[in-house]
C-alpha cells in the first residue's frame, strides 16, 4: 500500500523560499503523475502543479513564475520549491498521486496527510 | 474566483438522494474529464469519482458522477450522516494546461 508523507519547515519568512518534500513508500514514483495541491485556511483546494518522471512539469499559471516541482527516483521523493512567498502562500500543502501508467487526466487517487506552512517574520 | 462553480452548500435527510453541481466551460469540463473529492476536516481529501463517472475501488456505488456539456454532477443516494463533508469537483483546463478546482460544496445531513 503506497503511502505519501509531506515534510518541511512549518514556518517560512515573507519573501523567503518554501521547500517541501513528499516521501513515497510502498512503490516507486516512476509511472505516476505527482501533484502538489494546497488549501489556505478557510478556503478551497488549489492545484500547484504536477510532475511525471521523464516528462516536463506543468504548473498553475498563477504560480508558474515562483514554483519548481521535481522528483528523485533514487530517494523516491517529490519536492516543491516556491520562491518569494507571501502570507497568501500560507496553507496546508498536499502531495497526491495519479493512476499507474495513466494520464494527467485521471485525477488524484492517493493523497498525503498534508503539511501546514505558515508565512511570518 | 474559481473557473468551476459549485453551490456553497446543499443539504438532505438520511436516505435521500442529493446532487452537487459543478459548472465549467468548453476549456475544462466540456473537453476533459471531471473528478470529485470528499474532504473531511483534518483528513486528506478522498477521490470519489474520476474520468467523470468512474469509481475507484472501495468507493460505494451510492456515489455516482455524470457530465452534460460544460456541467458535471455528483449524486449521492441513500444519504448517511457520515456523508456530511465538503465536496470538490476538479477538471483539467486545456486553455490553462492546469487542473482547476471548484470552490467546494458543504453537504449537511439533517
pLDDT tens figures, B27-55: 999 998 899 999 998 899 999 999 999 99
Is there a contact between B88 and A44 if contact means CB atoms under 8 Å apart? Answer: yes
Q: What is the mean pLDDT of residues B64-68?
A: 97
Alpha carbon distance A75, B34 (integer Å): 32
Is there a contact between B99 and A47 if contact means CB atoms under 8 Å apart? Answer: yes
- DSSP E strand stretches across A16-114: 18-25, 33-39, 46-52, 58-59, 67-72, 77-82, 91-97, 110-111
Q: Is A31 left (phi over 0), alpha (psi -120 to 50) or beta?
A: left
| A108 shares contact with chain B (CB less than 8 Å) | yes
The residues that bridge with A94 in the sheet, in sequence order, are: A37
CA dihedral of A92, A65, B26, B37, whole degrees rounded to 10: -10
Q: Which of the residues in chain A have pLDDT under 50?
A: none
Closest residue on chain B to A60 (Cα): B98
Contacts of B35 in chain A (CB under 8 A): 106-108
pLDDT tens, position by position, B71-104? 999 999 999 999 999 999 999 999 999 999 999 9
Among A58, A60, A111, the residue with its CB nearest the CB of B44 is A111
| B103 shares contact with chain A (CB less than 8 Å) | yes
**CB count in 10 Å sphere of residue B13:** 9
CA atoms within 13 Å, Cβ hemisphere of A110: 20
Alpha carbon distance A32, A99 (integer Å): 6
| A55 shares contact with chain B (CB less than 8 Å) | no
| A59 shares contact with chain B (CB less than 8 Å) | yes
- Partner A, chain B 53-82, Cβ-Cβ below 8 Å: 56
Is there a contact between B50 and A106 if contact means CB atoms under 8 Å apart? Answer: yes
Alpha carbon distance A89, B74 (integer Å): 30
pLDDT tens, position by position, B15-24? 999 999 999 9
Percent of all residues in chain B with a pLDDT value above 90, rounded to a whole number:
95
Instruction: Quote the pLDDT of residue B94.
Output: 95
- Partner B, chain A 4-33, Cβ-Cβ below 8 Å: none
Q: Compute the nearest-CA separation of B40 from chain A (Å).
A: 12
| A45 shares contact with chain B (CB less than 8 Å) | yes
pLDDT tens, position by position, A98-109? 888 788 888 999
The residues that bridge with B89 in the sheet, in sequence order, are: B36
Is there a contact between A105 and B92 if contact means CB atoms under 8 Å apart? Answer: yes
Output the CA torsion sign for A41, A44, A48, A54: positive
Amino acid at each position: 500500500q503506497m503511502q505519501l508523507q509531506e515534510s518541511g519547515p512549518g514556518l517560512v519568512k515573507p519573501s523567503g523560499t518554501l521547500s517541501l518534500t513528499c516521501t513515497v513508500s510502498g512503490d516507486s514514483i516512476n509511472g505516476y503523475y505527482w501533484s502538489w495541491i494546497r488549501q489556505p485556511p478557510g478556503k478551497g483546494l488549489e492545484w500547484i502543479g504536477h510532475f511525471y518522471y521523464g516528462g516536463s512539469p506543468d504548473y498553475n499559471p498563477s504560480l508558474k513564475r515562483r514554483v519548481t516541482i521535481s522528483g528523485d527516483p533514487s530517494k523516491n521523493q517529490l519536492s516543491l520549491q516556491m520562491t518569494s512567498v507571501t502570507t497568501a502562500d500560507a496553507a496546508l500543502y498536499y502531495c497526491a498521486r495519479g493512476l499507474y501508467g495513466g494520464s494527467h487526466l485521471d485525477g488524484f487517487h492517493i493523497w498525503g496527510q498534508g503539511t501546514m506552512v505558515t508565512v511570518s517574520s | 474566483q474559481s473557473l468551476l462553480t459549485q453551490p456553497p452548500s446543499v443539504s438532505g435527510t438520511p436516505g435521500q438522494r442529493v446532487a452537487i453541481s459543478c459548472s465549467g466551460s468548453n476549456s475544462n469540463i466540456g473537453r476533459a474529464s471531471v473528478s470529485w473529492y470528499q474532504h473531511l476536516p483534518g483528513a486528506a481529501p478522498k477521490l470519489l469519482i474520476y474520468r467523470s463517472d468512474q469509481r475507484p475501488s472501495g468507493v460505494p456505488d451510492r456515489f455516482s458522477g455524470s457530465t452534460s456539456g460544460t456541467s458535471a454532477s455528483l449524486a449521492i443516494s441513500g444519504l448517511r450522516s457520515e456523508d456530511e463533508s465538503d465536496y470538490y469537483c476538479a477538471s483539467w483546463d486545456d486553455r490553462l494546461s492546469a487542473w482547476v478546482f471548484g470552490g467546494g460544496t458543504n453537504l449537511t445531513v439533517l
